[in-house]
Amino acid sequence: MEKRIRRQRCQLPSCYYEGYLQKRSIKDKVARKLWTCLCGNTLFFFNEMRDADYIEKLDLSGMISVTDDNSQDHNLDAARFILRIKDRNIKFTAPSAEARELWKGYIYSVAKLFVPSSLNLLPGQVQMLKQTVELEKQRPKNIIPPAVTSCSHYVSVQADMPACYHSVSRVDAELLLEKEAERGNMLLRPGRDGNSFAVTTRQDLYGPVFRHYRVTRKHEGGFFIDVDNPVPCATLHDVINYLVEKTNGVLIPLLIEQTYEDHISYILSDVESGEMSVQQALSIVPPSVPLKPAVLRKPTPEPAPAPTVEESLCLNDMSEYGSTVPTISPSLIALI
């Protein structure tokens, strides 16, 4: 069994069939009940149905056969089958005989790309297997080149998500809309192939009715709602707005406000009585940083003002004429 690569369920290939299986291989001492998804030509195993990360995966490209397990078992109703691959055998137990036939049919059809004729299935179930074979044949052709699905492009799209976007699977989307029916009946979520998105809606018609719409990203930019008459939209916000407007507001985006605690609290057990109580952590005020002392500067003497031009000219004139002006004698003054 290959080790897990950290990819979420929304980033896995298209899921053809899923359900609980009890799995047991040579390494497993006891059978483990795991949520199993057939995505592309690989089986992905999860601890629980709602888990986003798988714990194991099994590539079916080297499959040899998948047959019923007719060995004796204390549980006479056990629907067991054996998956033989090139290096080991793995035993599975399905919840019913019908589920076992479907698992055998899907695994064989995806691995060998044709539907076996030895299965005990209804005509409609056989038709579903034929459609799965065609999808698996086309899947490698529909993989978008890495240049289109680069991290920078994906992050730029994620940064502008509508408020009703929730990173949940198809099953979890239905459960979330069922739980939060009073807040909204429509949400946007990732697509199963990791390159597209989907809109899930819930309405009541003698019981809950769920619908899922694929939203595909265009190579040249933008999106379109993948229905009989594709609806082009520039952004994911336009996708949601279009559905709200065309349904006259019947579809309401599911908005869930996240709540946070106002105080840091913890649960403390009393040493003597053993009673549990909720305590609030004391607020710790960080010590204030002392201010640096101001550095006193010595005042610098102001320079003496320079004499103006007029004063210098006047002084020069006085010194010049002081040597040339004639003096008047006293006798002359008496005659006047």
> Greatest CA span in the chain, whole angstroms?
168
Q: Same structural domain for residues 119 and 181?
A: no
Here the tokens at position 77 are: 């109703």
For residues 188 and 199, is the Cβ–Cβ distance under 8 A? Answer: yes
Chosen domain end from 196, 223, 247: 247
Residue, of 168 and 148, whose pLDDT is higher: 168
327 pLDDT higher than 50: yes
CATH number at 134 reads 2.30.29.30
The string over 223-249, giving b where at least 16 C-beta atoms fall within 10 Å of a residue's C-beta and e elsewhere, is: bebeeeeebebeebebbbeebeeeeee
Q: Same structural domain for residues 114 and 188?
A: no
Chosen domain end from 142, 159, 186: 142
Mean local confidence (pLDDT), 305-312: 52
What residues contact residue 193 under an 8 Å CB cut-off, 6+ apart? 12, 13, 14, 142
Q: Is the residue at 111 inside a domain? A: yes
Q: Is the residue at 330 inside a domain? A: no
Q: Same structural domain for residues 32 and 136?
A: yes
Chosen domain end from 230, 247, 264: 247
Q: Same structural domain for residues 34 and 96?
A: yes
Q: Same structural domain for residues 132 and 41?
A: yes
- CA 1/CA 11 separation, integer angstroms: 20
Q: Same structural domain for residues 197 and 135?
A: no
Q: Same structural domain for residues 135 and 181?
A: no
Mean pLDDT over all residues of the chain? 78
Q: Is the residue at 106 inside a domain? A: yes
Q: Same structural domain for residues 35 and 98?
A: yes
**pLDDT value at position 153?**
42
Partners of residue 37 on adjacent β-strands: 18, 44
Q: How many domains are contained in the chain?
A: 2
Q: Which stretch of 206-210, 219-223, 229-233 has the lowest confidence by average pLDDT?
A: 219-223
Q: Same structural domain for residues 124 and 217?
A: no
Q: Where are the alpha helices (DSSP H) in 113-169?
A: 123-142, 151-158
Q: Is the residue at 278 inside a domain? A: no
Q: How many CA atoms lie within 13 A of 303 on its CB side?
A: 3
**pLDDT value at position 14?**
77
Q: Same structural domain for residues 24 and 66?
A: yes
CATH number at 226 reads 3.30.505.10
What residues contact residue 94 under an 8 Å CB cut-off, 6+ apart? 19, 21, 79, 80, 81, 100, 103
- CA 225/CA 244 separation, integer angstroms: 13
Mean local confidence (pLDDT), 254-281: 78
Q: Where are the alpha helices (DSSP H) in the chain?
A: 97-112, 123-142, 151-158, 170-179, 236-246, 309-321, 330-335
Please name which of 236, 234, 239 lies closest in space to residue 221, comparing C-alpha atoms: 234
Residue, of 238 and 315, whose pLDDT is higher: 238
Domain holding 96, by residue range, is 15-142
Q: Same structural domain for residues 80 and 198?
A: no
Q: Is the residue at 122 inside a domain? A: yes
Query: What is the secondary structure of 179-200 as a DSSP string?
Result: HTTTT-SEEEEE-TTSS-EEEE
- CA 275/CA 269 separation, integer angstroms: 6
Q: Is the residue at 179 inside a domain? A: yes
Neighbours of 201 (CB within 10 A): 22
pTM beyond 0.75: the answer is: no
Tens of pLDDT, residues 94-114:
999 999 999 999 999 999 999
Surface-to-core class of residue 100, CB atoms within 10 Å of its CB (0-12 exposed, 13-18 middle, 19+ buried): buried
Q: Is the residue at 257 inside a domain? A: no
Q: Is the residue at 271 inside a domain? A: no
